[in-house]
Amino acid sequence: MSSFRTIELSDGPYEQDGLRFLTVKTDTLKGRGDICLYVPEVATTVTNLPIYILLHGVYGSAWIWALKGGAHHTAKRLMEAGEIAPAIIAMPSDGLWGDGSGYLAHQEKDFAHWIVSDVPKAVMENIPQAGPQSKICLGGLSMGGYGALHLGSSHPDTFQAISAHSAITTFDGMANFVEEPLTSYPLKYQKTDVIDKLRSAKEKLPPFRFDCGTEDDLLFDNRSLHRQLKELEIPHSYQEFKGGHEWPYWQKNVAHSLRFFDQHCSR
């Protein structure tokens, strides 16, 4: 029995590049949610592949990691080279509220529950290569990096590993990107910074990493987060690479997330 009232899954003859598209209706969003999927070619008997969830940034949607970031091409290249084992790449929308939902619960919709619970469940129930034993990892860019670190540390038992690129690290940092005033988000989230969530889950955190471009306006915030984590003696990996807050940077560096996820998912 399906967990969702309605489901629409793209048909094989019309799909390209291994991409599939899934739309489900969920009370979590008070409507429908979209997921773009990269499903690798594996034997028909293979199931329970890992699921790597990639969260997009502001202004984007379910298609953007694939059609602007080429994440599925990077994943396929790494799999064919034997650098990572086969895995499903799930690229959901954030719920499409305003310029960006922040992957939080507000406006009577739970955008956090959508990512943490509904997305894995929808993939496991509708994609044969996934299953109830699929391990789950969470990554994202910019607002999606905030979401990955925030949700990953809030639900440490759900995810095998967490990775963020060019992350917004504080809730107030959202103001630099979205048109909506931060007061339109729930009051209890206005001071929810990544470091607070990571500190509160210190003893239970899954392995996590993050990186930022040396020409990115968020570099100072990411360096500050790295410094705070070191002071708190919270294990993590932080890297800096050349580039700004832009798609060429994420196109190149998503490979670091995929390798990190593979490292922490049993083959």
* pLDDT tens, residue by residue, 45-94: 999 999 999 999 999 999 999 999 999 999 999 999 999 999 999 999 99
Residue with token string 């050349």: 242
Tally the domains of the chain: 1
Alpha helix positions (H), 118-218:
119-126, 143-154, 194-200
Structure confidence at residue 12 (pLDDT):
93
Helices and strands in the chain: count of H runs, count of E runs: 8, 11
Identify whether 93 is part of a domain.
yes
Looking at residue 206, the DSSP 8-state letter turns out to be: P
- Assign residue 103 the CATH number of its domain: 3.40.50.1820
Tell whether pTM > 0.95: yes
| Residue numbers of the domain that contains 104 | 7-263
Alpha helix positions (H), the chain:
64-67, 71-80, 111-113, 119-126, 143-154, 194-200, 219-231, 247-263
Identify whether 18 is part of a domain.
yes
Identify whether 248 is part of a domain.
yes
* pLDDT tens, residue by residue, 115-129: 999 999 999 999 999
Identify whether 1 is part of a domain.
no
As a whole number of Å, the end-to-end CA separation of the chain is 29
Identify whether 2 is part of a domain.
no
Identify whether 194 is part of a domain.
yes
